[in-house]
Amino acid sequence: MEIEFPTAGLESVPGDGEGGNEMTDSMQLIREFCDILVTPEKARQTRIFFPEANEVKFARQVFEGAPFKLDYLTKPSFFEDFGFSEKVKMADRVKPDDELFLVGYPYFNVNEMIVVEELYEEAVVNTTRKLIIFNGELDRIRTGYYPSFFYPKLAALTKTLLPMMETIYYIHNFKGRNGGTLFRCYPGPWRVLRKVGNKYFCVHQQETMPSLKEVALDILPAA
């Protein structure tokens, strides 16, 4: 499952906030999301993965007093400055009583989403467990932001992992003269919204997710 939510404000777009601040805000949103939607009896069976081991230290402060299990996808390595990090074997991290995995913002390092796919294949497929990716910026992969020639494993996710992801809550804002919002709340359709005054009006809807390019260049200008 996928949740994509603007971190710098409901009307913000990716990049409005600084990278570190956006990740911190996402961590706070994850805490609020879990407090509201994860029942107390399920909290101890919920494992939350952050991109790096270092972030778990800060997460312990944000999640102080909560019974959620805090974990990580990768560990920094000596070659981190060159884009390398140490992958963590997911089979060694998962415990038998885990029922829900929530992965927070796995987009800073390309290896993070590769590890998420490993988590899905080793611990979710053919089980009753659920996997939620929170603010993973999956649109980068969908739109070919990472050239397949240089990132073949990441590009392959469009045919392997991403088709398995149901988007349950999504907000993507478009700025400019033809600004608007692509919105979905499961199980409803995908809607393109335009703000007039203090109200939002639906100018287009469909059952499948339109591409961001289609919304920006075709749907919003024609609305």
The pLDDT of residue 52: 92
Mean pLDDT of the chain: 90
Strands laid side by side in the 190-196 sheet: 85-87, 69-76, 46-52, 100-104, 130-134, 2-4, 167-174, 180-185, 190-196, 199-206
CA contacts within 13 A on the Cβ side of 125: 11
The pLDDT of residue 80: 46
- In which residue are the tokens 């312990």 written? 60
Task: Please give the backbone phi and psi of residue 202, each rounded to the nearest 5 degrees, phi first.
Answer: -80, 120
Strands 2-4 vs 130-134: parallel, antiparallel or unpaired = parallel
pTM over 0.85: yes
Domain boundaries, the chain: 2-165, 167-223
CATH number of 2-165: 3.40.50
**d(Cα 87, Cα 100) in Å, to the nearest integer?**
21
Instruction: Place 60 in a pLDDT band, splitting at 50, 70 and 90.
Output: very high
Task: Please give the backbone phi and psi of residue 15, each rounded to the nearest 5 degrees, phi first.
Answer: 100, -15
3-state secondary structure of 110: helix
Mean pLDDT of 25-40: 93
